[in-house]
Structure 1
Amino acid sequence: MSRTARLRLGLGAGAVLLATAALPAPAHAEDVTDYSITVDPSTRGPAIGKSMYGVFFEDINRAADGGLYAELVQNRSFEYSADDNASYTPLTAWTVSGGAQVVNDSGRLNDRNRDYLSLGAGSSVTNSGYDTGIAVRDGETYDFSVWARADAGTTLTVTLRDSGGTLATARRIAVTKSGWARYRAAFTASRTSATGRLTVASGAAAALDMVSLFPRDTYKHEPNGLRKDLAEKIAALHPGFVRFPGGCLVNTGSMQDYSAASGWQRKRAYQWKDTIGPVETRATNANFWGYNQSYGLGYYEYFRLAEDTGAMPLPVVPALVTGCGQNKAVDDPALLQRHIQDTLDLIEFANGTATSKWGRVRAGMGHPRPFDLTHIEVGNEENLPNEFFARFTRFRAAIQAKYPYMRVISNAGPDASGTTFDTAWKLNKDAEVDLVDEHYYKSPQWFLQNNDRYDSYDRSGPKVFVGEYASQGNAFKNGLAEAAYMTGLERNADVVELASYAPLFAAEDSVQWRPDLVWFNNHASWGSANYEVQKLFMNNTGDRVVPSTATGTPSAQGPLSGAVGLSTWATSAAYDDVTVTGADGATLLSDDFSGDASRWTHTGGGSWTVQDGQYVQTDTAAENTMVQAGAPSWHDYDLHVKAAKKSGKEGFLVAFGVKDTGSYYWWNIGGWNNTRTAVEQAVDGGKSTLIDKPGSVETGRAYDIDIKVRGRQVTLLLDGQQWGSFTDDKPAEPFRQVVTRDTKTGELIVKVVNDQSSAARTAIDLGTSRVSSRARVTTLTAAPDAVNTETSTAVAPQTSTLTGVTRNFTYTFPANSITFLRVGQG
């Protein structure tokens, strides 16, 4: 068997066989290759900072309480409210036996912990924990505590059980003081369970608050600490920074303080002073994502997480312009000044001496040494760029006047393009902002098409922080697309200074957003395919780009083709006079709904009926109510439709190029709560925005909508006036590469993504004669639709050794793979 045949056999069978064969693979003139990669080590590429890749934590998908925060008792202070979630009461997650009621009066524990439980004599209260219950492991210790007020001599009995019986020996706690006091006990689990229940019973009348059960074995053994397995998954990434606490938590809700003067605001933007000090004195708050947040995981704990994982802390503070669809600028000079001062106080909390006002608070919490904060972000995804920037400049001026070393980060709005994005970037450039935060959630195709996004960015302008990005799925195909895109981030490390996938965590039984990097339940956690991609890049970044080039994949694109469709989003709308005319003038579809709607196929939700010669969708709660007509082969046509909004939150969705329920284009007129008009492209369920402008529709007014498709060019007209146009002809390149150098080890790291169903035999020229004959190989490969679950890790790295490496050698990258070759320098 020839060397070439043996190499093909080994690599075709996967990286594990390659490790066994350990075959040299020098190039020969007669070798036939699909691609070539040429490395130029004599040219210095951009340096890559140690903090380039990090993590972004937001309390979404129950990421904090019931997640990273290790507390096992849900609603421990009886503060749940209908303000948090319509289904909540102060006794959510609790079951009472006997007489008990939640009280909010002057006998409370403190002004910020306002509710407490009044428990009658001989009564008990039981907590169900999160998910299926309170999870404990055999032999591990759990620390119980409660704030209680009762007559001295009262005894509290605390038990931990599941349906199978006792999980730990019961504890009896004697109340020794007449006022509020904290009482403690410890449990050692006698067996493992994920369905435990904690019960507190009292022989006499008692008041209870802050009922708590904590695993003693928290991450780094911190008190009031973090769930160990989740924190360890962050640590395993070796993040360069931790961005916190949001996200939409930062700039949604009231900007007022938590105080009697403001009516005890429960729906407030996240404010750091609410979250520090003893946990029983911290505020609780309605979470933007539809539940309650206790702030047990607060700013101090975030700073400790960054420190414990070796990461740079990167807090985000509100700029008094709400985001995430709320789009309101708060016009209150005194309140603005108070938030600016709060931000200065935050920096002092992080960096001040232990004798300064806020440094003393930090020291009192157990950390006299400063946290060395160097970056702070003001605002998040504001869709009002001028109003945001007027406030941002006030923050930046005050921060840099007192702390000139502080890098103050701005943002570019909620998407990767559009009017808001362009306006924000112009303001940021003109003001010479340090860093601009870009966010985008796109289809895998968008990531494959936009590897060159930062190639053309101004090298002398603000640096980029890609603070939130993901390809809208947790299958390996999503990870492949993200990996291909990350090669472009690294290649442009002189522009892209920081980057973090988002969101970080999701509880599998409480999901507000998909995809997510790490999934968990009350007893287990697992990294997604995307997590494995991030981990591979974050642990093999290198510190300087080595310029390299690669051949591309030939591709041929036909005309944009597909059926047409009508849809709504939380809106009732009426459509009429739909016509589709071919470029040759032939009528492909004409429907004035004078009869039935038999030519339309209902593929979405909602309720469609023909009413008075119109096709009407009446359900104002339904999202994406798509109906479609025509053939997937239609191309080069004109689509005309009349539309009128009847009621609801938004406007119209007119689709074209419809392939199936997950792949289409639509003109979203009056979307995002009737504030924006955009063209979106969906590919396999993931959407990307192609054009985005401010825009709204009037209820009851009829609009003429025309869409002209020619080849891959589309022109859109609203009431006879051209609104916009685009050409969708950018190739989605499936073969991407970047090369970096690890100065510490002296290795070149050749990183290659092959996002296609066939192997890619590739000639590699390292451009230097000083090459070690052996290379370390790490490969991620799996079926495109493979996902990781609690019980199955379909996407996991495989390591091997490649021998016979020379300056010029040939390597076959497996189908659907990400491969890192670490090659020593002679």
Structure 2
Amino acid sequence: MTTPARAGLGLAVSALLAAALVPGQASAAPAEPDYTIDVDTAATGPAIDDTMYGVFFEDINDAADGGLYAELVRNRSFEFLPADREGWNGLTGWGETALAGGAGTAATPNDDARLHERNRTYLRLDLRNAAGGAYGVTNGGYGTGVAVAEGRKYDFSVWARTTAKAGTPITVRLATASGKALAKPLVLRAEGDGWVKYEGTLTATATSDAGRLSVLAKGTGTLRLDMVSLFPQDTFMGRENGLRKDLAEKIAALDPGFVRFPGGCIVNVNSHYGYDEASGWQRARSYQWKDTVGPVETRATNANFWGYNQSYGLGYFEYFQFAEDIGAMPLPVVPALLTGCGQNRATDDPALLQRHIQDTLDLIEFANGPATSTWGQLRADMGHPEPFGLTHIGVGNEENLPREYAPIFVQFRDAIKAEHPDMVVISNSGPDDQGPVFEEHWANNRANDVDMVDEHYYNSPTWFLQNNDRYDAYDRNGPKVFLGEYASQDGKLFNSLSEAAYMTGLERNADVVKLASYAPLLADVDNVQWRPDMIWFDNDESWGSTSYEVQKLFMNNVGDHVVPSRASGAVVQPEPITGSVGLSTWATAARYDDVTVTAPDGSVLLADDFEDGEADGWRSLEGRGSWSVVDGAYEQSDAAAENTMVVSPAVGATDYDITVKATKTAGREGFLLGFGVEGTGDYYWWNIGGWGNTRSVVEKATGGAKETLVAHEGESVVTGQEYELQVQVRGTQVTLLQDGVVWDTFSDDRVVEPFAQVVTRDEATGELIVKVVNAQDRPAVTRVDLGAQRVAPRARMTVITGDPGEQNTRSAQPIRPVTTTVRGISSRFTRTFAPNSVTFLRITTR
């Protein structure tokens, strides 16, 4: 099997043609091309699996409750607690409501009257209504309110018990905040002091995204309520307890090959199983799949890693079912018992480890076992007697302790393989794309003959344009790669173009990179913990980002195998590191002194010892922190402020040495020394004692997006100790010294490649799919040579292009694909690819 050569990229363009070109226009007259693409159509490159591209779902950015999970009631089981977020309580999301002489009190106890051991908190209403009065609670839903559409039906349900011997009448109202009715009220009657589920249907009489759901009781006595639910009947595929239709349809439209779930960082946080003899019920624990299956009223709730509550109404059964509904492979990830995200503590409890391993075996039985097995029967009882066909499973997420993780993974893997020898068990390589942790993980994975390794990285668009060849040198006989999380760090078209250029390299290396998923998938526009994200939504609308459009284009036009091709053209050479010196802190107070910049010959380019009591020439980039000169040193005294950088006058030299004395005086972290600072989003900095004073890294920021160049784990800064820091810059080569000892070196000398391509073949249609990315402001005149391959003169062309700074928003989505039919296609043709564009040409072969 021939592996196609890496594409050479470039910037040169014919100025004579630039003014009159339109997206994807064939050149009117012969011209010297800026790029050439030579395709070996007689050869066959790597096969591309149907599962090449998929989606990664994590409950981040309110992606589940209030997002993909279609439930319209927020805090339906009164389980919002301070353990989830400071200031929350069981009535968060609810308000007391009284009508026509209604009176009572509302509380959310956790006692023996609870609905279920895992559903512990409920609503208690002690009713003191006058005749005809009603008292109860009103829920405001998610975002601006409960969203309903005229004519649509919504299923209401509630679990209730009452001490009133004659029963308690319950009225369910759906209205706006001003009282305008959105549906005819529903009347129910609770009877008996035992939990019973009561149900009914509301039909919306108007459309609103600001509805309020009220549950009001008449009479006296004590009424207990739990699991107050309002669910649209029109869910994705009409599933009960199903998914919000517009979001699920956008995901399905990607045609993903797999669905990775449930995370992400939520997988490994606090790896308690749920109960602990010393402390009783564990509120914040790692994601336990057994908490998420069975009837929804028996499922646990949990404190989410991202700072809110997760109800588990969207659980493992629903994930498996959704994957099946959209024709995707399910890919669950289970906890590896290393806590946190950037995990810095491993379990030392062998019994707990064995329990988790058994849970994983039980999970496989739940997915694949016969309906007569223990867990297969539960699956059948939930409505799916046939197996789900699980073939891949991940163990752990972004472990930062490779030495501790490796033996734990092996125990999981060996136990799984003993019962399911064909199961692909996926390890990982930590949270970064390089560095000691990454290298140690990979060494362990190779030594342990791991099936597949999950890599994660979020980097600047420049990084993606510099690393198209990342997987060219990977061992073809070693573990395969699952690129489980990646994205360029912003949501603009230029970021999506850099991702598209990188994806041509993923496809070219499809024999190594077997799975890939952009992350995160979903984000509530009003509740965001992470950016960028692929699909955005509010309580009644959703829209795809520019990366959604690019991902969809790739995922809908994969092809069956790579056709070897080679591109030629110029590349953008790296520039020397120049700019200002930066001093900064992050949640830390520090003092800096004796800042000097010297040339290699010893001449002084900049010096400031602050002895005159002034910081002349220094300026703040962001206006953060409290900087002043105190006792002959420059101090930042606000230990809570973050990213407080101040900068010196610019250093114009390309070869220079920076020396600074730094002392931490208070706070959680260390200090930061910037160099090559050109603006608020463009700089290098040496972050010493970052991440809670646990590691030191060098990061490069480009356009506000940072990437890690060097990382040292387990390093911290001692409060009150003075450190002498030195940064030696020689063009693009950097040496860093701490107290006279070399700490590390690096070169930022990779070329930027804004032009990228790959060619694949669709066996079903016989088409060649020529995929070209032009991530620059100039058109790219390109000669394409298909060799002896005969082709039809017309081709179907899809183009995504626009302002590189544009993004899709709630109010407008300007970045969309445009598909046309183009002429002038032959075995050798010249085409001009638009500036800032992704172009797919589907060429019919003869």
TM-score (norm 1): 0.96
1:747 is matched with which residue: 753, 767, 776? 767
Partner deviation per Cα, 1:515-553 (whole Å, 9 max, x = no partner) = 000000001000000100100000000010001011132
Alignment-mate amino acid for residue 395 of structure 1: F
**Other-structure match for 1:181:** 196
Partner deviation per Cα, 1:750-775 (whole Å, 9 max, x = no partner) = 00000111111111101233211111
Alpha carbons of structure 1 residues 9 and 664: separation in structure 2 relative to 1, 3 Å:
closer
Distance 1:417 1:321 in 2: 20
Larger mean CA deviation between 406-415 and 116-125 belongs to: 116-125
**Other-structure match for 2:86:** 86
Structure 1: gaps (5+ residues): none
Distance 1:11 1:763 in 2: 18
Deviation at 1:119, TM superposition (A): 1.1
The 5 A counterparts of 1:794-813 are 794-813=814-833
Deviation at 1:255, TM superposition (A): 2.3
User: Do 1:563 and 1:634's aligned partners in 2 also have CA atoms closer than 8 Å?
Assistant: no
SS in 2 for 1:773: strand
Alpha carbons of structure 1 residues 554 and 108: separation in structure 2 relative to 1, 3 Å:
closer
Distance 1:647 1:345 in 2: 49
User: Do 2:774 and 2:836's aligned partners in 1 also have CA atoms closer than 8 Å?
Assistant: yes
Say whether 1:116 aligns with 2:130.
Answer: no
SS in 2 for 1:148: strand
SS in 2 for 1:589: strand
1:788 is matched with which residue: 786, 789, 808? 808
Distance 2:822 2:106 in 1: 69
1:200 is matched with which residue: 215, 225, 235? 215
The 5 A counterparts of 1:232-381 are 232-258=249-275, 263-381=280-398
Deviation at 1:811, TM superposition (A): 0.5
Deviation at 1:46, TM superposition (A): 0.5
User: Do 2:161 and 2:191's aligned partners in 1 also have CA atoms closer than 8 Å?
Assistant: no
Alpha carbons of structure 1 residues 621 and 444: separation in structure 2 relative to 1, 3 Å:
same
SS in 1 for 2:202: strand
Alpha carbons of structure 1 residues 772 and 11: separation in structure 2 relative to 1, 3 Å:
farther
**Other-structure match for 1:624:** 643
**Other-structure match for 1:39:** 39
Partner deviation per Cα, 1:73-114 (whole Å, 9 max, x = no partner) = 001111111111102111111001342111111111111111
SS in 1 for 2:346: coil
SS in 2 for 1:421: helix
Say whether 1:102 aligns with 2:117.
Answer: no
**Other-structure match for 2:536:** 519
Distance 2:638 2:432 in 1: 28
Larger mean CA deviation between 182-191 and 415-424 belongs to: 182-191
**Other-structure match for 1:633:** 652
Partner deviation per Cα, 1:421-443 (whole Å, 9 max, x = no partner) = 00000000011100000000000
**Other-structure match for 1:13:** 22
2:401 is matched with which residue: 384, 403, 409? 384
User: Do 1:11 and 1:814's aligned partners in 2 also have CA atoms closer than 8 Å?
Assistant: no
**Other-structure match for 1:147:** 159
The 5 A counterparts of 1:535-550 are 535-550=552-567
Distance 1:148 1:511 in 2: 35
Distance 1:736 1:433 in 2: 31
Alpha carbons of structure 1 residues 370 and 616: separation in structure 2 relative to 1, 3 Å:
same
Structure 2: gaps (5+ residues): 1-13, 98-102, 130-134
Deviation at 1:713, TM superposition (A): 0.7
Say whether 1:168 aligns with 2:210.
Answer: no
Aligned residues: 812
**Other-structure match for 2:8:** none
User: Do 1:8 and 1:812's aligned partners in 2 also have CA atoms closer than 8 Å?
Assistant: no
Alignment-mate amino acid for residue 139 of structure 2: N
The 5 A counterparts of 1:353-752 are 353-594=370-611, 595-604=613-622, 605-631=624-650, 633-694=652-713, 695-752=715-772
User: Do 2:571 and 2:751's aligned partners in 1 also have CA atoms closer than 8 Å?
Assistant: no
Partner deviation per Cα, 1:773-813 (whole Å, 9 max, x = no partner) = 11100000010011001221111000011113110001110
Distance 2:370 2:653 in 1: 69
Distance 1:785 1:141 in 2: 42
Distance 2:22 2:51 in 1: 37
Alpha carbons of structure 1 residues 632 and 75: separation in structure 2 relative to 1, 3 Å:
farther
Distance 1:306 1:342 in 2: 21
SS in 1 for 2:318: helix
Alpha carbons of structure 1 residues 342 and 764: separation in structure 2 relative to 1, 3 Å:
same
Deviation at 1:612, TM superposition (A): 2.5
Deviation at 1:406, TM superposition (A): 0.5
Deviation at 1:258, TM superposition (A): 4.4
Larger mean CA deviation between 163-172 and 286-295 belongs to: 163-172
Distance 1:553 1:83 in 2: 56
SS in 2 for 1:348: helix
Deviation at 1:702, TM superposition (A): 1.2
Distance 1:555 1:726 in 2: 20
Partner deviation per Cα, 1:247-304 (whole Å, 9 max, x = no partner) = 0001112423247775111110111011111111100000000000001011111101
Larger mean CA deviation between 692-701 and 464-473 belongs to: 692-701
Deviation at 1:662, TM superposition (A): 0.2
User: Do 2:769 and 2:843's aligned partners in 1 also have CA atoms closer than 8 Å?
Assistant: yes
Distance 2:72 2:810 in 1: 20
Deviation at 1:126, TM superposition (A): 0.4
Alpha carbons of structure 1 residues 138 and 261: separation in structure 2 relative to 1, 3 Å:
farther
Distance 2:833 2:23 in 1: 9
How large is the RMSD of aligned CA atoms in angstroms? 1.7
Alignment-mate amino acid for residue 583 of structure 1: P
User: Do 2:399 and 2:405's aligned partners in 1 also have CA atoms closer than 8 Å?
Assistant: yes
**Other-structure match for 1:132:** 144
Distance 1:322 1:378 in 2: 13
Q: What is the identity percentage for the equivalent residue pairs of Structure 1 and Structure 2?
A: 61
User: Do 1:419 and 1:693's aligned partners in 2 also have CA atoms closer than 8 Å?
Assistant: yes
TM-score (norm 2): 0.94
Distance 1:558 1:445 in 2: 13
Distance 2:35 2:298 in 1: 62
Alignment-mate amino acid for residue 172 of structure 2: V
Distance 1:649 1:539 in 2: 47
Partner deviation per Cα, 1:691-715 (whole Å, 9 max, x = no partner) = 1122222222111100000111111
Alignment-mate amino acid for residue 206 of structure 1: L
User: Do 1:323 and 1:380's aligned partners in 2 also have CA atoms closer than 8 Å?
Assistant: no
User: Do 1:656 and 1:665's aligned partners in 2 also have CA atoms closer than 8 Å?
Assistant: yes
User: Do 1:36 and 1:551's aligned partners in 2 also have CA atoms closer than 8 Å?
Assistant: yes
Larger mean CA deviation between 114-123 and 714-723 belongs to: 114-123
Distance 2:408 2:590 in 1: 38
Deviation at 1:507, TM superposition (A): 0.3
